[in-house]
């Protein structure tokens, strides 16, 4: 096994880790945004509902 193969394997692993981190950040952002929208909708509904 040549050193070049070691480098490419290490690089592939690094790239995969970076992609995984980016996807995780995107997912967390989407979930966070979705939760905020849902909470805003719920609180908006509660505020707009007249209390008898």
For residue 27, the model assigns a pLDDT of: 96
Q: Which residue has the tokens 């070049």?
A: 4
* pLDDT of the residue at 30: 95
DSSP string, 19-36: HHHHHHHHHHHHHHHHHH
Q: What is the residue range of 12's domain?
A: 1-52
Model confidence, pTM: 0.59
* Total number of domains in the chain: 1
What is the pLDDT confidence band of residue 1, given thresholds at 50, 70 and 90? low
- The residue whose two tokens read 């979930």 is 31
Q: What is the DSSP letter of 1?
A: -
Query: How large is the average pLDDT for residues 41-48?
Result: 84
């Amino acid at each position: 096994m040549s050193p070049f193969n070691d480098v490419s394997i290490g690089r592939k692993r690094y790239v995969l880790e970076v992609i995984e981190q980016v996807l995780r950040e995107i997912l967390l952002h989407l979930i966070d945004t979705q939760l905020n929208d849902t909470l805003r909708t719920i609180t908006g509904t509660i505020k707009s509902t007249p209390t008898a």
